Amino acid sequence: MAPTPRRDGEATRQRLLRAALELFTTTGFRATTTPQIAERAGVAEGTIYRHFSSKEQLLNDVYRAAHRWATTLVVETEGPYRTQDRLQRIGRRLLEGAERDPAGARMLLQSREDQYLDDRSREAAREFRGMLQQVIAAGKSDGAIRPGPADLWAAVWLALVGFAAERVAAREWTVEQPQAAQVLDAAWDAIKAG
């Protein structure tokens, strides 16, 4: 009957992002209701709107956070590596991410809910894929990659890593099981030259 408890505002925001992320990636954006999000976050329904202007805004924030993490991850693998090795490291870290945070990996790699994304989110997705394309493009100029556009092979490689990540996120595989490495190898074989 009065304002109420009191929590660190930032913590509340994080709890909402996490609750939304988990629900959106398992139940889907449309099928997830704001009461569900609030309940999982342990706050009242109205509190969502203190931190996000709408359910779509919440989706977009969650989506961009996943892509920022992935973009950072690609940046961190920069160095004097051959393309194959670098992709291997990126793939490995994506799967480790899927193990540690299944929901985050799914938000990144499955592309349901595209229709609800705003321009900034699309830009974030482009940035992540663009970084991958640069990795592949570098490989192309070394002759390590098949003929054909770099963005095509980036998308192909990512499709297979996404496939493996979903298995890991679903707890059907762990990163240490051979299937994970086998699919990463297959992803490389799909795009490598010759």
Partner DNA sequence: TATGAATGAGTGTTCATTCAT
Partner DNA sequence: AATGAATGAACACTCATTCAT
14 binds, among its own copies, DNA, none (CB under 5 to 8 A by kind): none
Query: Contact at 8 Å (CB) between 154 and 75?
Result: no
Site residue total, its own copies (CB under 8 A): 26
| CA 8 from centroid of its chain's CA atoms | 27
Burial class of residue 131 (count of CB atoms within 10 Å of its CB; 0-12, 13-18, 19+)? buried
Amino acid at 10: E
The CA distances from residue 74 to 8, 99, 128, 134, in Å, are: 32, 18, 8, 10
**Which residue from 89, 92, 93, 146 is in contact with its own copies, where contact means CB under 8 A?**
146
Give the residue with the Cβ less far from its own copies, 76 or 152.
152
Our CB check for its own copies shows the closer of 54 and 141 to be 54
30 is a contact residue toward its own copies (CB under 8 A): yes
Q: Which does 72 bind (CB under 5 to 8 A by kind): DNA, its own copies, none?
A: none
Binding of its own copies by 193 (CB under 8 A): no
Which of its own copies, DNA, none does residue 47 bind (CB under 5 to 8 Å by kind)? DNA
CB 91 within 8 A of CB 165: no
Choices 62-70, 74-82, 134-142, 147-155 (CB under 8 A): range interacting with its own copies: 147-155
